[in-house]
Amino acid sequence: MVVYCQGRLVYRDEAVALSRVVADVVKSTNKVVLDLEGVSSIDSAGMGELAFLHSWSQSRNVSLKCASPTPLVRDLLGLTNLDRVLDLHSSLSGALESFRESHQCEEQVC
């Protein structure tokens, strides 16, 4: 399932809304991609929400990937070292392909 993030990912409603959407999505799938291409601004609350979603999804056996971060988002993820924590992909197609690769690896017991 792909969640297309648009606009601001900032303190209050926007950050909380993202968590709500992801919580709803994982009711029907355990593979989620957050497409960050449309994120125009992000603050510390938005970064914290991404970190929270990463931990939350791991505790629920949900594979969460982030894709297509804008240059601003990529820079902030790098400054906070979240780029080393999140499963981050430069493109949506790369994130989706990584699910196929991990599935093939499971079948072949890599």
Q: Which domains does the chain have, with CATH numbers?
A: 2-108 (3.30.750.24)
Region of 68 please: left (phi>0), alpha (psi -120 to 50) or beta: left
User: How many Å apart are CA 36 and CA 60, to the nearest integer?
Assistant: 22
Q: Model pTM? A: 0.87
pLDDT tens digits, one per residue of 42-55: 999 999 999 999 99
pLDDT tens digits, one per residue of 52-89: 999 999 999 999 999 999 999 999 999 999 999 999 99
pLDDT greater than 60 at residue 103: no
C-alpha angle 52-73-65 in degrees, rounded to nearest 5: 50
Please state the rounded mean pLDDT for residues 28-38. Answer: 96
* The pLDDT of residue 12: 83
